[in-house]
Amino acid sequence: MSNNVQHESKQTTTSDPSDKITYLLNLLGKKLPNQSSSAPPPPVTENDSDYEDIMTDEEQDIYTFDTKQQLIQSLYSSHAKFNPSLSPHDFNQDQDQLNINNNDKNEKSSTILQQQQVELLILETFKDHPQLQFLTGKHLKYLDLSLHSKLPAYFNALDANHTWMMYWLINAHKLINQSTVEIDTDTIDLINDKVESCIIKDGKYGISGGSNQIGHIASTFSGILTLVLTKNYPRLLEIRSHLYHWFISLKQSDGSFLMHINGESDSRSVYCVLAISALLNLHTDELTNHILNWINKNQSYEGGYSNNAHNECHGGYSFCSMSIYYLLFTHKSQFKTDSKINLDNLIRWLVMRQFAIEGGLNGRTNKLVDSCYAYWIGAIYPMIEVLIDQPIFNRDGLKTYLLKAGQNFDKGGFRDKPGKSTDFYHTNYSLSGLSVCEYTYDLESDDTNDDDDDELLAFKFKVANNDDNDNDDDNEKFTNAIHPIFGIPITDVNEIRQYFKNFPKPI
């Protein structure tokens, strides 16, 4: 989620199956066996920018031409916690090739061609990287370079996302489990400067995506999270009541909020407002009025949630929607009494997002795997697990996808899928998703009868003590525990909650 960046990758696959191998080779940056391939053309260098030279990927592997079945067999190991598996679809396809009366013309659909190509691509990548490893040093280096290098001109695509860039990079850094490396105070100051350049009139008109731009709820959300991460509580204290009145000015009669004046309203804007308000202790009836009615309408017949009623359900909007319930409710029992949520449908839709071969997740039915959904969908899993007291998804599968297919082994950072370039957005949400895989959660004692307990359910998440952990070598964690609702380390959430809890709410 961001105000502008379209994280859904453009479908670049070719529709002619004969081009499939060429396509894969291009995507992977791989070469044919026993065949010399010319080096990729040098990147266009921008004035004074060393970023491009440093970040150019030099990874080149051999493409094997094995079939899906061969690849899966070659990968199979009884020691592995996750082995890719075939589905009836694969079987039927083989059968159809023998069947002359094959009326399955629809398998030439663009969806299935792209899906088949990605499966092969992922299996090849798995084969290249048999071990699960996490390149801590390279990731820290990638983040450091991204913060401090001058970025080439094409980065102007992120010119309305300056607060998002800060959040993605510093959050990714804090999620990496490497306690000896802290962000130095000079850098913290510069991060604060950047957010400051986007705060408009002490928050009276919100926070913008860049200096001299107009306030936007999503930029405000990422700006606030960044100040939480730098622990700039004094500044948050100064702007909190201004932000509150700005939110109220954007409130709609149906309960939702506009992203900005004359902007759209959807579950993102509502989530962002509620999350900020929870962190800064700004929740009032005036602010939360009618939201419950509004959000209840957004669950689609498939089970997931959409931006607005009747649209196609989607990972990002489902994350926002489920979080909204956690930011409105104070007790678990309210899911039954106050929400119209069809939990069975939601759970079914959520688990159907995981692929048997890739191990990773997609964000909508019949779309491709993408590492960012490791967080958008992945973070909803613990929100469900604490309600039903059972594990609900395959953590090893998702972890395998992130570490083997998402991770950039050459330069650090993460990407949507092999063949895509590494970026800030996917790096942050891959690490966030990895954290969801590495931890399980509980809700703090939730006494339904205690009416005095008005602490939001979102604040009751805590990391579970896994004494019954059957894992032998799994004690080493690559990440710190993330808070599923707020998308920052759980320790940062607890700390700011303690700090702001005693400041009065606006009247």
Partner 1 sequence: MSNDYNFDDVIPVEINTEQPQLCQILYDDEYKTTMGILLALLKNEEYSERALYITQKGIELLASHYTIWIYRYDILTKLNKDLFEELDWCEQVALENEKNYQIWNYRQLIIDRILKTSGDEKEGSTKRKYEPHREFPILEAMLDSDPKNHHVWSYRKWLVEKFDLFNDPKELEFVDKCILADLRNNSAWNHRYFLKFAKVDLITEESVKNELQYVESLIEQLPQNPSSWNYLIGIYQKQGLKLSGLEDFCLKFINLKELELNDNSFKAVKSLYALEMLAKIFLERKDYKDSIKVYDLLGTQYDTIRSNYWKYEKSKVETIVGGTTH
Residue 312: CB minimum distance to partner 1, A: 4
Helix or strand or coil: residue 361? strand
User: Judged by CB, which is closer to partner 1: 282, or 357?
Assistant: 357
> For the packed helices 185-196 and 162-175, what is the interaxial angle rounded to 10 degrees?
150
Measure the CA–CA gap between 299 and 302, rounded to whole angstroms: 8
Measure the CA–CA gap between 162 and 7, rounded to whole angstroms: 16
Residue 241: CB minimum distance to partner 1, A: 25
Measure the CA–CA gap between 212 and 297, rounded to whole angstroms: 37
Sign of CA dihedral 495, 498, 499, 501: positive
Residue 376: CB minimum distance to partner 1, A: 13
Measure the CA–CA gap between 249 and 48, rounded to whole angstroms: 44
Q: Are 57 and 410 in contact (CB under 8 A)?
A: yes
Residue 184: CB minimum distance to partner 1, A: 12
User: Judged by CB, which is closer to partner 1: 366, or 421?
Assistant: 366
User: Judged by CB, which is closer to partner 1: 163, or 407?
Assistant: 163
Residue 183: CB minimum distance to partner 1, A: 11
User: Judged by CB, which is closer to partner 1: 203, or 506?
Assistant: 203
Q: Using alpha carbons, select from 417, 425, 285, 303 the residue that is nearest to residue 357.
A: 417
Phi then psi dihedrals of residue 204, to 5 deg:
-65, -30
User: Judged by CB, which is closer to partner 1: 246, or 500?
Assistant: 246
Residue 407: CB minimum distance to partner 1, A: 21
Q: Are 415 and 354 in contact (CB under 8 A)?
A: no
User: Judged by CB, which is closer to partner 1: 65, or 154?
Assistant: 154
Amino acid sitting at position 416: D
Question: ∠ CA 50-53-59 to the nearest 5 degrees?
Answer: 150
Residue 149: CB minimum distance to partner 1, A: 8
What would the two tokens of residue 279 be?
């962190």
User: Judged by CB, which is closer to partner 1: 360, or 506?
Assistant: 360
Residue 224: CB minimum distance to partner 1, A: 18
User: Judged by CB, which is closer to partner 1: 135, or 361?
Assistant: 361
Phi then psi dihedrals of residue 436, to 5 deg:
-60, -35
